[in-house]
Amino acid sequence: SAPGHPVARTPDSFTGSEPSVDESTTMRRFEHRVALITAAAAGLGQGAAYRLAAEGARVTIWDRDDAALEAALAEAKRRGLDVAGRRLDMLVRAEVEAAVDELAAREGRIDVLVNNIGGSLRVPFHFLEQSDEDWERVMAVNVTACVTTTRAVIPVMRRNGYGRIVNMGSKAGRFGSLFTGTPYVAAKGAMQAFTLQIAQEFGPDGITCNTICPGAILTPRVERFLDERHTAEERARIVASIPVRRQGRVEDIAAAVAYLASEEAGFVTGATLDVNGGQAMSI
């Protein structure tokens, strides 16, 4: 899976639609920067990868799904984006550490880490129906994999005196959820706490760490999940409860990632950015 070529335009979303932003207005905040985005062959991770690459980053995406990874790289190449890919199982520590070593050796630096891996993994919604295995699987994917990757990447960032870590939280981790279940809510809450400590400990090294908490973003996976657990009438009521009167799009999250991953956000660390259309607010 070879990288693509330097870029021209910002993509609209991960879906393959043509860009709507004029080439002359495209920002290039990530020239000479190297970004790693986990579980990014589809959905939010893919959208963030395309956005950072469109702004000049050399992006590497990880995923365990060979077919999805190849499709994502082919689309990146079609768009003229510098995106490379690597297949690995992020639940195997040795594979994560080897992949970070390989990337650091090839690029000489890792400036941006987006810990995008996560998911509710379709465990039962009701707490008393969840098994120990359900909890262990959800925690492993949403927390342990991110901890392992962050531990491997931070020494590379420290050597260069610069780093931007963006963790993917969730509205569920801040306000609870009507459909994802307790393990996912607890795991995303844990990632927010993890963010605070990393921000505090590694700020003196030029490394910031922030969390993005999306609401329900309409990726194909979320569409399927919502269809399974909500009727059309319930979904309509959900949209009506959102002040901006729509559900989120992949590009909404990609824009938030791009800001927190940029040099412009150098004085922002330990923050939680809610991207949910105002559906849930706090002081």
The H helix count followed by the E strand count for the chain is: 10, 7
């290039």: which residue's tokens? 28
Strand duo 112-115 + 163-168: pairing: parallel
Query: Around 248, how many Cα atoms within 13 Å sit in the side-chain half-sphere?
Result: 25
The DSSP H or E segment spanning 86 is strand 83-87
Buried b (16+ CB within 10 A) or exposed e, 167-194: bbbbbbbbbebebbbbbbbbbbbbbbeb
User: Among 50, 162, 184, 259, which one carries the catalytic annotation?
Assistant: 184
Residue 184 annotated as catalytic: yes
Catalytic residue IDs? 184
